Structure formats: structure tokens, C-alpha cells
């Protein structure tokens, strides 16, 4: 097996199967789920960093206001992404959520043009046009914008852009993001628990156990992904990333039996065609460089 492949598969399979986990806590409001996820993932990553004695990055970060600002923004984007995703999984919109992660690479192309002043070629522009046509068609079919998909794609695309310019690894970055939000998240969880009879106060214990599991399920795929990114070509990793929304899509259609007819399929086919163009172009570029 090529180096890093097992880590990449572990990350994207966990992310792809996450809607199954959400079903075990479907009765917990999305806001409370994300509050728990933030707190328990923070405690877990701090525990890992304590065992490894990796604290130099923290003192350096506290002396860099620009880094703190960037990670505060990335933390807010990640939090918004989590809330929308949990809401989608709890309300039977897993297929639309998968659409957001399918179009995310094409959103990244547009962000590269608008923010980084990159100059994409004809292949990338064609892919973006196909994705736009697919979203427009799905809007016509549904009679509304697929706001869940667009929000997930935009927040994760912007998050990726900010983290691309950051100088911290996945574990340290998640720890810093969680620490920056902790002064808000921890009191908010305490208030929610008291004011809304949250799970910490009213149970049941089994639900609390599932919420505690959100910590490892948040940190583990990020660590797997970071390990894979160090060992695999980015083009190869970019292709494997489609495993996650594909699993979500299959869960939505075949397990959760969400509505999906031939008209909706046409919109997805347009978007998949754009992704195929970008993927083939990336592979060709990789072969040329090799």
C-alpha cells in the first residue's frame, strides 16, 4: 500500500460515515451538539499535546496578533460549517450536504482567482461553469437555492484558504482554534445545560456517551489527514477526498431514503462532470511534473 494511503482512507471514511453517528444524537439540538464537539475535541487535543510536550507553538502564537486573528476567523468558519452539517444530517438533507463537499474543490478554484489572484486555465473555468449550471438546475428543480450545500462549500472553502496560509499543523491548529473559542463555548455549554435541560444535566447517559465520542471523531480524521498530506502527492489526495461526499451521498439515497429523482440526478451529473475535468487535469499535471 502506498505511504499515507491508509491514513487518507481513514480520514475520508470517518468524514463520509459521520451522518450515521449523527443519528445516535438526533434528538440533541444542533447547537448543543456542536458545543459538546468543541469542548471534547479541545480536551482531547490538549491531552495529546501534553503527552507529546508540544507547547512551543502556543507561546509563539500568543505573540503574533495576525496569527490569532486568522485562527479566530478559521474557528468561526469551522463552527458554522459544523452547525450547518449537523442540522442537515438531523433534518434528512444528507444528499444536499454531500453536494456541498462535491462542489467545494470548485469553490476553492474560484477563491484562488478572487483572493490569491491565480489564473486558472480553460479546464478549470469549464469545470466551474458546469458546477454553476448544476447548482442552477437544482435550484430550479427544488424551487429554492440549495443553501445547505452552498454554505458548507463556502465555509469549508474559506476555512481551507485560511489554513493554507497558516503556519501550524492540523493538531496545533485545531487546538488553537478551540482555545480561542473556549471563552465563549464553555460558558455557552454551561448556560445551555442549565437553561435547556441539556444532556449534561438531564441525560440520558447513553446520549452523553455518544457526545463524548465527538471529540475523537473530530480529532482522529484531522490527524489522519495531516499524516496523509505529508506522505502523498496532493493530486492523489485530492482524488481520494471525493470518497467522503460519495459515502454521504450513498447514505442519503440508500440508507436514509431521501428524495432523489432523475431531475436531481442531472444537476449532480453536471457537477460530477466538472469534478472529473479538474481531476483529470490534476493527474495530467502530476504526470508531467514526474
Residue with cell 507553538: 57
Query: What's the pLDDT at 32?
Result: 94
Residue showing cell 462532470:
273
- For residues 236 and 5, give the distance between their C-alpha atoms in angstroms, rounded to a whole number: 9
DSSP string, 41-67: HHHHHHHHHHHHT--HHHHHHHT-HHH
pLDDT confidence of residue 80: 93
Predicted TM-score of the model (pTM): 0.87
8 A C-beta contact, residue 101 and residue 258:
no
Measure the CA–CA gap between 271 and 126, rounded to whole angstroms.
Answer: 11
The residue with cell 431531475 is 263
Q: Residue 234: what pLDDT?
A: 59
How far apart, in whole angstroms, are the C-alpha atoms of residue 225 and residue 4? 9
Measure the CA–CA gap between 172 and 167, rounded to whole angstroms. 10
- 68 alpha carbon, distance to own chain's centre: 21
Angle between helices 30-52 and 214-231 (to 10 degrees): 60
Q: Give the C-alpha separation, 142 to 88, whole Å.
A: 16
pLDDT for 17: 94
Quote the cell numbers at residue 142.
427544488
| Grid cell digits, residue 13 | 471514511
The whole-angstrom separation of Cα 280 and Cα 48 is: 38
Cell of 237: 489526495
- Return the C-alpha cell found at 274: 466538472
Q: Distance between CA atoms of 66 and 40, rounded to whole angstroms? A: 27
Cα angle 167, 17, 258; round to 5:
125
Residue pair 94/251 in contact by the 8 Å Cβ criterion: yes
Query: Contact, 177 vs 37, CB < 8 A?
Result: no
pLDDT tens digits, the chain, 290 residues: what are they?
666 788 889 988 999 999 999 999 988 999 999 999 999 999 999 998 999 888 888 888 888 888 899 899 989 998 999 999 999 999 999 999 999 888 887 787 777 777 767 676 787 788 888 888 988 998 888 888 899 999 999 998 888 788 777 778 778 888 999 999 999 999 999 999 998 888 988 878 899 999 999 989 988 887 887 778 767 765 566 677 888 899 999 999 999 999 888 889 999 999 888 888 877 776 676 566 66
- Quote the CA–CA distance of 285 and 289 in Å, as a whole number: 6
Nearest to 278 by CA among 250, 248, 242: 242
Tens digits of residue pLDDT in 120-143? 678 778 888 888 898 899 888 888
Amino acid at each position: 500500500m502506498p505511504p499515507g494511503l491508509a491514513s487518507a482512507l481513514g480520514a475520508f471514511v470517518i468524514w463520509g460515515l459521520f451522518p450515521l453517528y449523527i443519528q445516535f444524537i438526533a434528538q440533541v439540538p444542533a447547537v448543543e451538539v456542536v458545543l459538546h464537539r468543541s469542548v471534547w475535541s479541545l480536551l482531547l487535543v490538549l491531552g495529546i499535546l501534553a503527552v507529546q510536550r508540544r507547547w512551543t507553538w502556543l507561546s509563539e502564537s500568543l505573540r503574533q496578533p495576525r496569527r490569532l486573528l486568522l485562527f479566530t476567523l478559521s474557528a468561526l468558519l469551522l463552527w458554522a460549517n459544523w452547525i450547518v452539517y449537523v442540522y442537515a444530517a438531523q433534518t434528512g438533507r444528507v444528499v444536499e450536504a454531500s453536494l456541498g463537499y462535491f462542489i467545494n474543490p470548485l469553490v476553492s478554484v474560484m477563491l484562488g482567482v478572487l483572493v490569491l489572484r491565480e489564473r486558472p486555465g480553460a479546464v478549470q473555468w469549464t469545470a466551474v461553469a458546469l458546477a454553476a449550471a448544476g447548482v442552477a438546475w437544482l435550484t430550479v428543480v427544488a424551487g429554492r437555492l440549495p443553501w445547505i450545500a452552498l454554505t458548507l462549500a463556502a465555509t469549508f472553502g474559506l476555512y481551507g484558504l485560511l489554513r493554507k496560509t497558516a503556519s501550524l499543523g492540523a493538531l496545533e491548529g485545531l487546538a488553537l482554534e478551540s482555545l480561542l473559542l473556549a471563552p465563549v463555548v464553555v460558558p455557552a455549554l454551561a448556560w445551555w445545560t442549565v437553561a435547556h435541560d441539556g444532556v449534561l444535566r438531564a441525560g440520558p447517559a447513553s446520549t452523553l456517551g455518544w457526545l463524548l465520542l465527538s471529540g475523537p471523531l473530530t480529532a482522529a480524521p484531522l490527524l489522519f489527514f495531516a499524516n496523509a498530506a505529508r506522505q502523498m502527492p496532493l493530486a492523489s489526495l485530492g482524488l481520494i477526498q471525493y470518497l467522503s461526499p460519495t459515502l454521504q451521498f450513498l447514505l442519503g439515497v440508500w440508507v436514509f431514503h431521501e428524495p432523489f429523482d432523475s431531475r436531481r440526478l442531472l444537476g449532480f451529473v453536471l457537477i460530477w462532470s466538472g469534478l472529473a475535468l479538474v481531476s483529470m487535469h490534476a493527474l495530467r499535471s502530476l504526470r508531467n511534473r514526474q
